[in-house]
Amino acid sequence: MKKLLVTVIAVLVALSANARKLIVIDSQHLHCHDSVLVFIPQQNAENYAEASLPALFLLHGWSGCYSNWADKSDLQKAADESGFIIICPDGFYNSWYVNDSNPQGMQYREFFHRELYPAMVSDFNLVPERTFITGLSMGGNGAMNLFFDDPSKFAAAGSMSGSLMLRNSKSLAENWMSKVMGPFTPENTRYDEESAANRVALAKGTGKLLLVSCGYDDSLFPGSVTFVENCKKEGVPYVALFSPGVHSWYFWDYSLQLHLWYFKKILNKENLGYR
């Protein structure tokens, strides 16, 4: 098999002691560039490559971009307080973190597994046992799907207000998802196959925790309920964080702190209330 070369075309550095990096990857699978904003804990800004720090891939939602999280939440503070490298790739306006039905379109899952993940492992000395993934809305479904593709790459995965049952979002499916997954019809099984709630069994036997947070008043709440019901059915460990809240940055900023708290406990092998 011909070895794929990941081409990083630019690394732009900001903040003191190189604590924040913007990495631009020339992607063969996306047929364009992908910008990746990375936050490094200030205390490890000089030695991150040798330190093997824990890392979190943090995915944005529909209509967002790589800077979306940083624009709405203090990710440098989150990195400093948690000790995690926080990696924010561009999931683009409407990728849904899937492989486009059109071979000439963005093949996002291929990009993540063959280009982005290996590049981050190389640049930041990531190890699977200390690497986590989560995201909001479109990114919640994307994070879970990327985990299910290959659980060996991660220690755990999360979803915040995730679109975990794609057919529940009829308007988005008809007008936007259909651009990458084909017509929104009962016959098109991609909408079921790409719904993370339907892929839970792929985590069975891994022992890895799935973390789901969603507000009661969020229109996507039923999908999160289905997801955790399927986890229970399949014997997959999960934590459901359901609380008052809507589909908003106010809720996601709150959820990020919870996800980092749980991921840090997993990292440190601390008591999570079960064995």
* 108-130 confidence digits (pLDDT tens): 999 999 999 999 999 999 999 99
Question: Does residue 245 lie within any of the structural domains?
Answer: yes
Instruction: Output phi, psi for 12, to 5 deg.
Output: -105, 130
Q: How confident is the model at residue 271 (pLDDT cuts 50, 70, 90)?
A: very high
Q: What is the pLDDT of residue 17?
A: 46
Beta pairing, strands 131-135 & 7-14: unpaired
Q: What is the pLDDT of residue 104?
A: 95
- Tell me: pLDDT of 12 over 70: no
Here the CATH number for the domain that contains residue 69 is 3.40.50.1820
Mean pLDDT along residues 48-52: 88
51 vs 45: CA distance, rounded Å: 10
- Tell me: pLDDT of 87 over 90: yes
Question: Does residue 244 lie within any of the structural domains?
Answer: yes
- 214, amino acid identity: C
Q: What is the pLDDT of residue 50?
A: 87
Q: How confident is the model at residue 5 (pLDDT cuts 50, 70, 90)?
A: very low
- CA dist list (Å): 144 to 140, 153, 181, 212, 215: 6, 12, 18, 10, 18
- Tell me: pLDDT of 59 over 80: yes
127 vs 80: CA distance, rounded Å: 20
Is the CB of residue 259 less than 8 Å from the CB of residue 134? yes
Q: What is the pLDDT of residue 18?
A: 66
Question: Does residue 15 lie within any of the structural domains?
Answer: yes
Global confidence as pTM: 0.94
Question: Does residue 23 lie within any of the structural domains?
Answer: yes
Q: How confident is the model at residue 51 (pLDDT cuts 50, 70, 90)?
A: confident
Question: Does residue 135 lie within any of the structural domains?
Answer: yes
Q: What is the pLDDT of residue 49?
A: 86
Domain count of the chain? 1
SS3 55: strand
Q: How confident is the model at residue 140 (pLDDT cuts 50, 70, 90)?
A: very high
Is the CB of residue 176 less than 8 Å from the CB of residue 94? yes
Question: Does residue 14 lie within any of the structural domains?
Answer: yes
Range of the domain at 164: 7-267
User: Angle CA(232)–CA(170)–CA(239) in degrees, nearest 5?
Assistant: 20
Q: What is the pLDDT of residue 6?
A: 55
The conformational region for residue 269 under phi > 0 = left, psi -120 to 50 = alpha, else beta, is left
Question: Does residue 73 lie within any of the structural domains?
Answer: yes
Q: Give, as one character, the DSSP assignment of residue 3.
A: P
Tens digits of residue pLDDT in 198-219: 999 999 999 999 999 999 999 9
Tens digits of residue pLDDT in 153-191: 999 999 999 999 999 999 999 999 999 999 999 999 999
Question: Does residue 163 lie within any of the structural domains?
Answer: yes
Which of 43-47, 81-85, 144-148 is predicted with the least confidence, judged by mean pLDDT? 43-47
- Tell me: pLDDT of 83 over 50: yes
Mean pLDDT along residues 233-245: 98
Q: What is the pLDDT of residue 11?
A: 54
Q: Which residues, other chains included, contact 163 with Cβ-Cβ below 8 Å and sequence gap of 6+?
A: 62, 137, 138, 140, 141, 169, 172, 220, 223
232 vs 200: CA distance, rounded Å: 10
